[in-house]
Amino acid sequence: MKNRDRKKNYDALADICRLSGVDPEPAMDKLKTLSLSIHCWQADDVTGFEKKSAHAAGRAAISATGGFPGRPKNIRALRRDLEKVFSLIPGRHRLNLHAIYGDFGANPVERDRIGIEHYRSWIEWSRIHCAGLDFNATCFNHLRVRDGYTLSSEDPATRNFWVEHVGRCRKIAAYFGRVLKTPCLHNLWIPDGAKDFTVTRFRHRQLLKESLDRIYARRFPASRIVDSLESKLFGIGSEYYQVGSHEFYLSYALKNGLIPCLDLGHFHPTESVADKISGLLPFFDRLALHISRGVRWDSDHVVILDDDLQNLAAEIVRAGALTRLHLALDFFDASLNRIAAYVIGARAVLKALLIALLQPIEELRALEASGNKGAFLARSESQKNLPWGLVWDHYCRQSGVPTDREWIRDM
């Protein structure tokens, strides 16, 4: 189709939307300002670039299921895949690194010895290819996960090792924020917990608090780093409980000026993370979200445009919180083309936000306030008929990336 015909079709589409009480232009303009944090670990199945001996199966291991060919085996190949991913997603987005993805070359170091020098090449890469860097300490897949515990271990040497690792990661994150002139989100998740019945929950939570106090005693300017804590309900090998529960981290973050990170797969399947947005925003200036898709449990399936994602996006927009939430992807699936996984997931999040931005929110608020519940519900349902898919196609072309049908062929 010629550009002239596309413009004519879009103008007709925009008129339909305006007659329905919404204007697609402001919605697309807001979407352009949003940067997702794209996680590096989908690219290579959470492998990283450490020495192989540093990994230990069963030591709070995280693995991706499936054996699809084409996993990048080195940092050059991983970056090539990430560049392809960024080229297929409308907008300019960030890269989220785990500590195990340092540019270690032939001289890898232990995690309590990593430094800024191992990530300088990522800084130079990011200046060209993305809007900024985020960072995560890597407290899993390691021999120093002692009996399932890291920062809350009874063993002082184990705690010291991980306190040093996280401290170094925060220093690296703050450096990212300084040189790239955009705050780096440093997120902390630990696997600590018990597989079965235990009487030491309180003891381990006391130890975790002591470790966190040591870590966050060092302050960095807010212009350089934002610190978040990621909770979890349970995990493989920690089915009975996790030390870093939602209540524990929420309390610690609120008391110490940090922010909570909510992972969509880290709660009971009947809990709504969308509902938590408005419950937390009155108390936190910012929130972090790890957008995943749990199937029956925290399975980290590729994000798709399902009800949970649309409800989440709708609550973010209704709360006027687009600038207050740090939106990051967090899934890893080795059963399909890994670039496809990235693009499907990132586009699904952007589509959900576009749909939310196309809602006649002010009109719905007025109808709800009037007490006319029938009109409110009818209007809410009628907006679902809008041809948002055509708006999305226009947004993709406007952003210089392929539409849904086109990118599949391109991949």
Q: Which residues are catalytic?
A: 189, 230, 232, 263, 266, 290, 298, 300, 330
Cβ 255 vs Cβ 293: under 8 Å: no
Judged by DSSP in three states, 71 sits in: coil
Q: Are 258 and 284 in contact (CB under 8 A)?
A: no
Among 289, 214, 300, 241, which Cα is nearest to 265's?
A: 300
d(CA 79, CA 82): 5
User: Bridge-partner residues for 288, per DSSP?
Assistant: 261, 326
Long-range contacts (CB closer than 8 Å, 24 or more residues apart) made by 389-394: 390/9, 390/10, 390/13, 391/13, 391/17, 391/24, 391/27, 391/28, 391/354, 391/358, 392/351, 392/354, 394/6, 394/10, 394/13, 394/24, 394/28
- Joined together, the tokens standing for residue 10 give 């879009």
Read off the DSSP letter of residue 303: P
Alpha carbon distance 28, 354 (integer Å)? 7
CB 267 within 8 A of CB 306: no
Q: Is there a contact between 179 and 123 (Cβ–Cβ < 8 Å)?
A: yes
Q: List beta partners, residue 259.
A: 228
What whole-number distance in Å separates Cα of residue 111 and Cα of residue 109? 6
How long a stretch of residues is the chain? 411
Pairing of strands 241-242, 259-263: unpaired
- DSSP per residue, 8-44: HHHHHHHHHHHHTT--HHHHHHHHHT---EEEGGGTT
Strand, helix or coil at 325?
strand
List, in sequence order, every beta strand (DSSP E) within 201-296.
225-230, 241-242, 259-263, 287-291
Q: How far are the Cα atoms of 63, 299, 408 from residue 334, in angstroms, in the given order?
A: 9, 12, 18
Q: Is 223 helix (H, G, I), strand (E, B) or coil?
A: coil
Q: Give the C-alpha separation, 74 to 183, whole Å.
A: 28
